Amino acid sequence: MNASFPCRREFLAAAASLPTAIHAAGLAAAAGPPKAATAFQIACMTLPYSAFPLQRALSGIRQAGYDFVAWGTTHREAPNAQSTPVLSADAPPAKAKELAMSCRDLGLQPVMMFSGVYPEHRDGLEILTQRLKQASAAGIAQVLTFGHTKGGNHALWLERFKKLGPIARDLGVLLVVKQHGGETGTGEACAKIVREVNDAGVRVNYDAGNVMDYLDVDPIADIRRCADVVRSFCIKDHRNWPKDEDCGPGLGEIDHFRLLHPVSRTGLVMPLCCENIAAPLLPRPLQPEGVDALARRAREFLETVIAGLRTL
């Protein structure tokens, strides 16, 4: 009797775990086969080169080894000149197409552009519509926006995004909204808005640096709550010590392996647009060659992360 007791105990334990095993198998079957690896597009924004002419930014990004570029937002075309927009909000779509062609002539595919306007702006609907038209003419897949939803702005965001979603889809462009502090400071908050809008033309862009900077929220936990609606990233790291500041990827406190892992098997094309490539504690480069070096380092770091994730 005593000899048979361990076998009986093992049988009861196995029987008790059977419903859980069946449930887990059912969930796996419902989820379907694993999706293909995400096609990450490592891009550099022209933003880190804002102190220099746009053409110097584009050539530097290409020389730093990038195949993709994101437009944003202004550049100083001469040492003492005022900054001018990469593309003004009222520029005709043909102007955007022309600029995109100049990027492609250098070997750069533009994948994202800043809208330059908050959704709640008085003219937000008109400007965002124009930006979507510009992006479509240029062959740019995504238009980026962000802002604040305090007071009655939440309802206004929903109203405008519900109008913009079908426009974006008709034009073959995606409108993405990223975190910018306050009530839209987390990916979870942005995802809530996107899910309420419920239109495939409006999705989330994830900015881990902003999430950590503005609200001191852990982006690794946050992205798990919005990964299903994330379609691109503004790549920016952050440090709380020894100085509270944003910086280039891999130079801060954010684990980019954990950050990208939740979206590494979507089967989608997903731009990773380097917005901040700066070195912590150090002054910004005074010459464009210094920015080139930072851009190259950021690209190489992200390539290492992506290569590692593909082995999982």
In the chain, where the domains are located? 1-33, 36-309
- Least confident range of 6-20, 198-212, 253-267: 6-20
**pLDDT of amino acid 152:** 80
Q: Taking the CA of residue 56 as centre, how many other CA atoms within 13 Å lie in the half-sphere pointing to its CB?
A: 18
Is it the case that residue 268 has pLDDT exceeding 50?
yes
CATH topology of domain 36-309: TIM Barrel (3.20.20)
Question: What is this structure's pTM?
Answer: 0.89
Span 136-153, mean pLDDT?
A: 93
Is it the case that residue 308 has pLDDT exceeding 80?
yes
Span 251-277, mean pLDDT?
A: 98
Q: Taking the CA of residue 159 as centre, how many other CA atoms within 13 Å lie in the half-sphere pointing to its CB?
A: 10
> Could you give the CA distance from residue 139 to residue 277 in angstroms, rounded to a whole number?
26
**pLDDT of amino acid 80:** 87
Cα–Cα nearest to 219, from 257, 187, 181, 190: 187
Structure tokens at 52: 């220099």
Q: State pLDDT tens for residues 44-101.
A: 999 999 999 999 999 999 999 999 999 999 999 998 899 999 999 999 999 999 999 9
> Could you give the CA distance from residue 72 to residue 164 in angstroms, rounded to a whole number?
21
Span 248-276, mean pLDDT?
A: 98
Residues contacting residue 216 through CB under 8 Å, at least 6 positions apart: 240
